[in-house]
């Protein structure tokens, strides 16, 4: 480890910095508010620019929540390639956890559950999705599908991967012309419009985001689907009636439901599904069976700045809650590598249009989304997070449920499958 010379004769690093230099050996350079530069290891690849003296204490204590706030505010500037930034951040978190066993224990505990009222859920959803339609359009695919794509070779661009995902979902649901499809958490309406155009369904989509609602409705009209697709600004708890839909799909929505509300959520979908109908739930899960966070750091940052109110169950809870509502689980598919690949494509597209993104949503939002999506790519790659598509059906009163003998209908051909490979972080 080396440290740069002080900016004035006689100045020393001080006891806190001396301790930090001794305890860490990372390719990290600190640039202090007074001009001093301190290297915490040889050949630094990342620089932390500390614009306020108080940030030094946060770093010495390993207070990553406070450092996250400083990063968003611009008081902490992080310079370097994204892959190097993530590697250094992860190493910092792991070193401080070894020095603070209680912090490691706290990470393994389930997070406190929030009360997911209708008003709170609407507020939390709007915090994330009502950033700016123009901002999301810069880096999402042309249909603005905000969930993981589906890759057959791993080399597809984002538009191809998302179209493959939409078709994969429609095949799993065995959609037929004139069937009634409900999309819970329909986003900007890409899935419903695709299903109406390609499979001839009649659909209803609900969202809590006014901006998504406005753009989705406009897209339905522009595509000439207004007589077949209805978009509503509505909470899933407000859906009335029973046995109103042949098929139900929910993509990237139940993360907002809350673990305590899972029985209510799946019970509502059961009530709305006709006997013999199919439900596909696509959502992120934690890899910890106890429901805790698997990553060394980052959960609080996401809770505060990205997905307030978000809660992730383990796949075991998802399957239990689906089954508890008398739905029969038919197929479970882990798409973890697909989301890691999707997130890297999103980050590259966001960085390529940095100036436009800042103009659309501001510098803070750009910084948040850039590091959040890159960090999530790492979390999926490391198996701290997973994402599952669960297909279930509603048997009739006699327990009968027609279904294919095999999964062959889900795929366009029987060609030998391509195998997943390590993520290519080049260019980030």
Q: What is the dihedral of CA 417, 419, 425, 427, to 10 degrees?
A: -40
Neighbouring-strand partners of residue 242 = none
- The residues assigned a catalytic role are 376
Say what the pLDDT of residue 259 is.
Answer: 85
* pTM of structure: 0.85
Give the orientation angle of helix 354-361 with respect to helix 336-352, to 10 degrees: 90
Tokens of 415: 């060609």
Domains and CATH numbers, the chain: 15-108 (3.30.1050), 118-410 (3.40.50.150)
Say what the pLDDT of residue 105 is.
Answer: 40
Q: Are strands 180-184 and 37-39 parallel, antiparallel or unpaired?
A: unpaired
Pinpoint the alpha helices (H) of 204-296.
210-222, 262-272
Alpha-carbon distance of 369 to 371, in angstroms, equals 6
Residue 334 CA to chain centroid, in angstroms?
15
Per-residue pLDDT of the chain (428 residues; tens, 9 = 90+): 344 433 333 345 566 666 666 667 789 999 999 998 988 888 899 999 999 999 988 888 888 888 889 998 999 999 999 889 989 888 888 877 654 444 444 444 445 566 667 666 666 566 667 678 999 999 999 999 999 999 999 999 999 999 999 999 999 999 999 999 999 999 999 999 999 999 999 999 999 999 999 999 999 999 999 999 999 999 999 999 998 999 999 999 888 888 888 999 999 999 999 999 999 999 999 998 877 666 655 567 877 888 776 788 999 999 999 999 999 999 999 999 999 999 999 999 999 999 999 999 999 999 989 998 999 999 999 999 999 999 999 999 888 888 888 888 888 665 566 766 778 888 88
Q: What is the CA radius of gyration of the chain?
A: 24
Say what the pLDDT of residue 104 is.
Answer: 45
Alpha-carbon distance of 220 to 17, in angstroms, equals 59
């Amino acid at each position: 480890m080396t440290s740069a010379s002080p900016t004035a004769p006689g100045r020393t690093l001080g006891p806190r910095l001396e301790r930090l230099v001794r305890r860490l050996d990372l390719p990290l350079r600190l640039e202090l508010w007074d001009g001093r530069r301190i290297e915490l290891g040889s050949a630094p690849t990342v620089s932390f620019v500390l614009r306020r003296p108080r940030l030094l204490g946060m770093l010495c204590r390993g207070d990553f929540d406070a450092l996250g706030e400083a990063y968003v505010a611009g008081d902490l500037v992080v310079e370097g390639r994204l892959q190097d930034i993530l590697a250094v951040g992860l190493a910092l978190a792991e070193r401080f956890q070894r020095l603070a066993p209680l912090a490691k224990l706290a990470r393994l505990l389930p997070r406190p559950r929030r009360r997911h009222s209708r008003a709170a859920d609407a507020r939390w959803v709007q915090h994330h999705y009502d950033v700016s339609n123009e901002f999301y359009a810069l880096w999402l695919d042309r249909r603005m599908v905000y969930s993981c794509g589906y890759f057959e070779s791993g080399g597809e661009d984002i538009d191809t991967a998302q179209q493959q995902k939409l078709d994969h979902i429609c095949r799993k649901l065995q959609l037929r012309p004139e069937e009634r499809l409900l999309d819970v958490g329909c986003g900007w309406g890409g899935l419903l419009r695709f299903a109406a155009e390609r499979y001839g369904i009649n659909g209803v989509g609900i969202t809590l985001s006014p901006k998504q609602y406005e753009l989705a409705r406009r897209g339905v009209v522009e595509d000439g689907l207004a007589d077949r697709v209805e978009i509503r600004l509505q909470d899933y708890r407000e859906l009335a009636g029973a046995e109103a839909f042949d098929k139900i799909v929910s993509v990237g929505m139940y993360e907002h439901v809350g673990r305590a509300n899972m029985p209510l959520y799946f019970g509502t979908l059961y009530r709305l599904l006709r006997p013999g109908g199919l439900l596909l739930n696509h959502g992120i899960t934690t890899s910890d069976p106890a429901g805790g966070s698997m990553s060394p750091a980052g959960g609080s940052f996401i809770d505060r700045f990205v997905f307030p109110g978000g809660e992730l169950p383990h796949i075991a809870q998802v399957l239990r809650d689906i089954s508890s509502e008398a739905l029969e689980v038919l197929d479970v598919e882990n798409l973890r590598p697909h989301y890691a690949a999707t997130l890297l494509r999103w980050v590259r597209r966001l960085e390529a249009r940095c100036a436009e993104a800042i103009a659309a949503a501001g510098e803070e939002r750009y910084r948040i989304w850039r590091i959040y999506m890159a960090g999530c790519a790492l979390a999926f790659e490391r198996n701290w997070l997973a994402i599952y598509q669960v297909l279930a059906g509603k048997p009739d009163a006699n327990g009968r449920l027609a279904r294919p003998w095999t999964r062959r209908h889900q795929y366009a051909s029987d060609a030998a499958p391509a195998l997943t490979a390590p993520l290519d972080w080049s260019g980030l």
